[in-house]
Amino acid sequence: MTEGRYANIIVDISHEKVDRPFQYKIPEALRGKISPGMCVMMPFGKGNRLRTGYVIEVTDKAEFPDEKQKEIAEIIKSGISVEADAIRLAAWMKETYGSTMIAALKTVLPVKRAMKLKEKKKLVRLLSVEETRSLLGESQRKHQRARARVLEELCREPVLPYELVTGKLNVSPSALRSLQEQGVLSIESESFYRNPVKIDSQRESGRDLSDQQAAIRDKVLGDFDRGERKTYLVHGITGSGKTEVYLSLIDGMIRRGKQCIVLIPEIALTYQTLLRFYKRFGDRVSVMNSTLSAGEKFDQCERAKRGELDVIIGPRSALFVPFPNLGMIVMDEEHETSYKSETMPRYHARETAEHLAGLKNASLVLGSATPSLEAYHRAKQGKYELFTLTRRLTGGELAHVSIIDLREELRSGNRSIFSRKLQELIEERRSTGEQTMLFLNRRGYAGFVSCRSCGYVMKCPHCDVSLSQHMGNRMVCHYCGYEIPMPGACPSCGSPYLLGFKAGTEQIEQQLYKRFPGIRVLRMDGDTTRTKDSYEKILGAFSGGEADVLVGTQMIVKGHDFPNVTLVGVLAADLSLNDSNYRSGERTFQLLAQAAGRAGRGVKPGKVVIQTYRPDHYSILRAAEQNYEAFYEEEILYRKLGGYPPAAHMMAVLISAFDEKRGEALGARLSKIAGEDVQVIGPAKASIGKINDIYRYVIYCKAIDYRQLTVVKDKIEAYLQPLALRQESVQFDFDPIDSY
Ligand code: ADP
Ligand code: ZN
Ligand code: ZN
């Protein structure tokens, strides 16, 4: 608890007012007793009426002279509410990730302003059927057609939906009002919550758990009942029964009157997954994701607050659904990079979930087939409790994996992007009617356009990157969306020989048609999945057997089961190793292990072909063996040697500037400030030095202890504050996932 003399307070939590905190003096008697998240009473506005407010910060810095400050009146003891928890969480995020309090608050309070509940109106018959029928006869004689239509329906049904009558029966509201005035019917309305889930299915109870699964359930729930709150890591390959364990744990929580948050990466949040939760828990489950309207989001929060929901499923933002009685957070696929926010505050859902679980006295269960180094490291240190599921419950052997050295292929005269082995196996699948998935590491890879005469590379005029060639002779910048048609001649030397080096998914598709005449191909990448349902549509078509081959980027290696896929080809496995990023080995291992896990999910055995220029890299070898443990041991050694997370911590300081010189100068000053306390690398031009005409610089700070980095962050903020820079901005990214 800070011994500050002032408190910054948000007066009203009706969220549009969050924009502006007000400062109050903390009276002598309350000093040291006030902390962020507390609910207090204080005089507000001209009339000094007492209002409730939430403390978001306690500070020693007065925003205006003492004599002008009003004082907090009292602390409200019962004010420990859902909102208070959210504010405490925001205060922690601000401190841990370096953002403004407002940005943190906007993140944890999911809906900006209260939305009106939707209303449903209905007509209720007040007379008996006989009375209604006689009125109907009368209306028919008088040729009151509209009136007759309503009465006729009312003879059949005592209650009618309002929309049906005004819509399909085409009866005017005024005609209805006169029936209402005559006491024939009443118009009633009820408000209801928008429910984004439109699943209506039979409930199913859980399966009998295997011994391994039951052991996890019993331990976690047993700990819970003993009052022990921990973080658990469930390590098990896809199909080993992790989800079934989550379901039984959630079931246990619901029986204890507790609520659960289930985090699933947006891309894995398929209809199939939802259906499984729905079958088990019915309509006390809901979702929270980016496709919901603001009203739908608001309603899910309301349902959660009132205890009308037991389970919410969604990507990282589902963490902020306000459950009053949270018992457990489940985080599936905890290694996914989408759990890290790319905007301020750049929080990681795993750490945030851990903190939230602490605030709410809840348990945290993480699951993955390829755990993040962070989680596994903590498990090894005994901070998390580790469980391993070793058997695949759907039957199905692990796939047979071959590594193909692409240098060998070239030496033997094969210039195609498909190795001989892969060609042979694709051909074989076509004759048996089985399916193939071809996976390319990255979208638009090497899609740059250059001049064959002088080597000039076409670049985006606003960003420091090359343009990528797309279908229809367009060139596109993947950073700002800038787009121009391919020029007829080289802008530098005038030569007409401009060439796109395309080895993206589009080119693979073209090559497939060429190499295997008549083959049916579906393609899934950023371009083919722009619209809302396209992702599920493509997967649906593929699982319905509408194609022999599915070509795609990372998105195809996640999610669905395709029992008929018996071959997975990884076209350039080492592409992700070329990133200048300390996580590239981990990412490569994860992608390959997941891709290998796609083959042979049904009864037929699967094969995996990994094509690479670096057949002896440990990430590739260990992934081919599906040996996580061995991979971890090699990778953690490298992290320890390099001083990288999780062996140490890093903070990236990002500087954006309109002016190149001023940006450089600011970088140099900040680097000096940071260098007084921690190890500093840079300032350097970011790997993309300019985006949208804004120059970018980065400083990396390294320290064993996370706290050392937040101290440096606070120091930089204190230095920047009085400067009130308008031409430059500075942001922080802790334990960054991407390189800058
Ligand atoms: P994961 O989440 O690890 O991929 P799932 O929980 O989805 O694994 O389980 C994989 C498959 O095995 C599913 O079809 C599931 O219904 C089935 N399964 C899981 N647990 C059991 C069990 N105890 N008995 C029978 N089948 C199970
Ligand atoms: Zn651009
Ligand atoms: Zn040229």
Give the best-scoring range by mean pLDDT among 214-223, 570-579, 618-627: 214-223
Q: Across 70-84, 454-468, 578-592, 637-651, which has the greatest mean pLDDT?
A: 637-651
Cβ atoms of 450 and 492 within 8 Å: the answer is no
Tens-digit pLDDT profile for residues 13-24:
554 455 577 899
Please work out whether the CB of residue 209 comes within 6 Å of at least one atom of ligand 1.
yes
Q: Which atom of ligand 1 is nearest to the CA of 209?
A: 23
Backbone angles phi, psi at 726, to 5 degrees: -115, -20
CA of 574 from ligand 2 middle (Å) equals 26
Q: Which two tokens stand for residue 196?
A: 């984004």
Quick one: which ligand is closest to 465's CA?
2
Mutation pick for ligand 1 pocket among 273, 388, 393, 561 (CB with most ligand atoms within 8 Å): 393
Which atom from ligand 1 is nearest to the alpha carbon of 237? 3
Ligand 1, atom 19: closest residue by C-alpha? 241
pTM of the shown model: 0.79
Residue whose CA lies nearest to ligand 1 atom number 15: 241
Residue 144 CA, ligand 3 centroid: distance in Å: 82
* CA of residue 449 to ligand 3 center, whole Å: 11
Going from the Cα of 485 to the center of ligand 2, the distance in angstroms, rounded, reads 14
Reported as a pLDDT band with limits 50, 70 and 90, residue 1 is: very low
Q: How confident is the model at residue 361 (pLDDT cuts 50, 70, 90)?
A: very high
Counting ligands in written order, the one closest to the CA of 460 is 2
Q: Which range has the worst mean pLDDT, 149-153, 182-186, 352-356, 576-580?
A: 576-580
Q: Whose CA is nearest to atom 9 of ligand 1?
A: 241
Q: Relative to the alpha carbon of 453, which ligand is closest?
A: 3
Query: Which of 235, 237, 238, 243 has most ligand 1 atoms within 8 Å of its beta carbon, as the pocket-test mutant?
Result: 243
Is the Cβ atom of 300 under 6 angstroms away from ligand 1? no
Which position has the higher pLDDT, 206 or 705?
Answer: 705
From 209, 218, 233, 244, the mutation candidate for ligand 1 (largest count of ligand atoms within 8 A of CB) is 244
pLDDT of amino acid 114: 47
For 41-77, what is each residue's pLDDT tens digit?
888 877 888 887 888 888 888 888 877 888 998 888 6
What's the pLDDT tens digit per position in 522-579?
988 766 666 667 777 888 889 889 999 999 877 776 656 788 888 999 887 776 665 5
Q: Whose CA is nearest to atom 26 of ligand 1?
A: 393
Q: What percent of the chain has pLDDT over 90?
A: 38
Specify which of 91-105, 112-126, 333-347, 500-514 reaches the highest per-range mean pLDDT: 333-347
Kindly state the average pLDDT of the residues 231-236.
97
3 state DSSP class of 471: coil
Q: Is the CB of 238 under 6 A from ligand 1?
A: yes
Q: Which pLDDT band holds residue 501 (cuts at 50, 70, 90)? A: low
Q: 127: which 2 tokens?
A: 């007379």
* Alpha carbons 253 and 256: distance in angstroms, whole number: 5
Ligand 1 near 728 CB (within 6 A) = no
127 CB-near residues (< 8 Å, 6+ apart)? 135, 183, 184
Cβ of 559 less than 6 Å from ligand 1: no
**Phi, then psi, of 503 in degrees rounded to 5:** -130, 35
Confidence of residue 445 (pLDDT cuts 50, 70, 90): very low
> What is the reported pLDDT for 113?
46
What b-and-e string marks burial along 327-362, b requiring 16 or more CB atoms within 10 Å of the CB?
A: bbbbbbbbbbbebbbeebbbbbbbbbbbbbbeebeb
Average pLDDT, the chain: 85
Distant-in-sequence contacts of 422-430, Cβ < 8 A, 24+ apart = 422/569, 422/609, 422/611, 423/515, 425/567, 425/569, 425/607, 425/609, 426/516, 426/548, 426/549, 426/567, 426/569, 427/516, 429/548, 429/566, 429/567, 430/516, 430/519, 430/548
CA of 545 to the centre of ligand 1 (A): 24
Can you say how many angstroms the Cα of residue 509 is from the centroid of all Cα atoms in its chain?
Answer: 29
Q: Is the CB of 394 under 6 A from ligand 1?
A: yes
Residue 444: what pLDDT? 38
pLDDT at 503: 56
- Please report which ligand is nearest the Cα atom of 493: 3
Q: Is 647 exposed, middle or buried (0-12, 13-18, 19+ CB in 10 A)?
A: middle
Contacts of 111 (CB under 8 A, 6+ apart): 15, 294, 297, 298, 301
pLDDT band, residue 658 (cuts 50/70/90)? very high
Tell whether ligand 1 has an atom less than 6 A from the beta carbon of residue 240: yes
Ligand 1 pocket residue status of 242, Cβ below 6 Å: yes
Ligand 1 nearest-atom number relative to CA 238: 4
Residue 155 has pLDDT above 80, yes or no: yes
Task: Report, as an integer, the average pLDDT of 708-720.
Answer: 94
Nearest CA, atom 10, ligand 1: 239
Model confidence band, residue 311 (pLDDT cutoffs 50, 70, 90): very high
Give the number of the ligand closest to the Cα of residue 454.
3
Q: Is 594 in the pocket of ligand 1 (CB under 6 A)?
A: no
Tell me, in angstroms, the distance from the centre of ligand 3 to residue 487's CA: 11
- Token pair 């007509």 is at which residue? 123
The answer to whether the CB of 571 falls within 8 A of the CB of 608 is no
Residue that is written with structure tokens 């048996």 in the block? 432
For residue 351, the surrounding DSSP H or E stretch is: helix 349-360
In this prediction, residue 196 carries a pLDDT of 65
Query: Measured in angstroms, how far is the CA atom of residue 244 from the centroid of ligand 1?
Result: 6
Give CA–CA dist 406/415, Å, rounded.
10
Ligand nearest to the CA of 487: 3
Of the pLDDT bands very low, low, confident and very high (cuts 50, 70, 90), residue 421 is very high
Lowest mean pLDDT among 247-256, 400-409, 594-603, 638-647: 594-603
Q: Which of 137-146, 523-532, 678-687 has the lowest mean pLDDT?
A: 523-532
Q: Is 588 in the pocket of ligand 1 (CB under 6 A)?
A: no
Q: What is the distance in A from the centroid of ligand 2 to the CA of 506?
A: 21
Atom of ligand 1 nearest to the CA of 245: 6
Q: How many CA atoms are closer than 13 Å to the CA of 150, on its beta-carbon side?
A: 32
User: Quick one: pLDDT band at residue 600, thresholds 50, 70, 90?
Assistant: low
- Of all protein residues, the one whose alpha carbon is nearest to atom 20 of ligand 1 is 241
The response to whether residue 597 sits with its C-beta less than 6 Å from ligand 1 reads no
Closest ligand to the CA of 204: 1
